[in-house]
Chain A
Amino acid sequence: MSGFLLGLSLGAACLASCAPILVPWYLAQAAGWGRNFVLLGLFSAGRLVGYGVFGILAWIIHPVIDSLRHSFVFGLIYLALGIMLIHFGRTQFHNPCVSKGLMRRIPAEIFARPGILAVIMGVLVGLNLCPPFLAAFTKAAETPSLAASVIFFVCFWAGTTVYLLPLPMVGLFRQPVAAIVGRFACWIMAGYFIYQGVLIWVGGLK
């Protein structure tokens, strides 16, 4: 459940980063709401696959993370995460996520098949190392078993998906309020991660 909540808290940032890809795409499709929902379903399924892969990865590196726990390096990870979140909040509207760059390399034919494209985009977004996702990765790495780690990611996926649900309604919102709130939420979370990092540092250096 903490995965779901983390997804909810960072999902606004996910929305902020992925909406610039999804929204123009939906608009370009000029499809109705119903069709957009189907596409969102496929896209989310793709993300789930991507997240599942990371759930397994997170479990594999968990012994390493465990040994670093509460140490100087772990504090540093939090600090780096915070700084990345700040950067992410600052630049999200211009270069949203890694997937966008990868998207450009997708052959033009695929664009003709929106269903396949939705799944591929989903996997790419799932595999993309954006900071909200990194936050989930760090947390999942702390879980003790493979199942727990994968479940954590599935929950994180569910939490972030909540934010993507209204996306097919694009066109209704002229001002992306959620994205603005998400950007600020990102910065506050960044502050929180930096604060945690500093605390671990101060505690570790005592």
Chain B
Amino acid sequence: MKNIRMIMAYSWAVLAVPLILATFLGMPTWARFLVDTTGLKVAPKFSGGEVIRTIEYQGYSTRIHEPSFDGLFGPCKQGFVQIDWKANAGSFPETISEMIDYDQNGTVDFSVVIQTQTDQVTLKALDSPVIAPEPLISIPDMKILRIRLRNP
């Protein structure tokens, strides 16, 4: 028994080097394997959530993310929905004005107007779950807006 334990211990110790090498050499494969088997994703709080709809306009497109009410054991009282505007040819029209139905129930939830030069946002809630917008994030070819929502 002692000998078997000893042989196993030495074998395990010797295997350490090939294990390390295999890890580094096959890193992209192992990482993908881990992500696929566990189904892990970046939390919507950081990623904005899955894009559920993309609407194409002249010069830009609007991406609506899935509303997120993430809590540890279930949905929270408050959450947000993220809307991205992506410029097709690098620049936006001066004003973006849009009616958003984020839950796709056929009723407009809020209207939003963005002055793209000054990044000024005007949001008008048309449905009760909408609370308020967070500050607009502006990167060269994208505008990102999160709107805080109450969980209906």
Contact = CB atoms under 8 A, between A and B. Distances in A.
A1 interface: yes
B73 to A, nearest CB: 4
Contacts of A5: 72
Interface string A185-206: 0000000000000000000000
B75 to A, nearest CB: 12
Interface string B67-106: 0000011100000000000000000000000000000000
Interface in B23-78: 72-74
Contacts of B74: 1
Interface in A1-55: 1, 5
Contacts, number: 4
B80 to A, nearest CB: 19
Chain B at the A interface: mostly helix, strand, loop or mixed?
A: loop
Nearest to B73: A1
B77 to A, nearest CB: 9
A5 B73 CA distance: 11
Contacts of B73: 1
A197 to B, nearest CB: 22
Nearest to B72: A1
A144 to B, nearest CB: 9
A113 to B, nearest CB: 40
A62 to B, nearest CB: 15
Nearest to B76: A2
A1 B76 CA distance: 11
B145 to A, nearest CB: 22
A52 to B, nearest CB: 22
Contacts of B72: 1, 5
A190 to B, nearest CB: 24
A158 to B, nearest CB: 13
A3 to B, nearest CB: 11
A28 to B, nearest CB: 40
Interface of B: 72-74
Interface of A: 1, 5
Q: Which 4 A/B pairs are nearest by Cβ-Cβ distance?
A: A1-B73, A1-B72, A5-B72, A1-B74
4 contacts: A1-B72, A1-B73, A1-B74, A5-B72
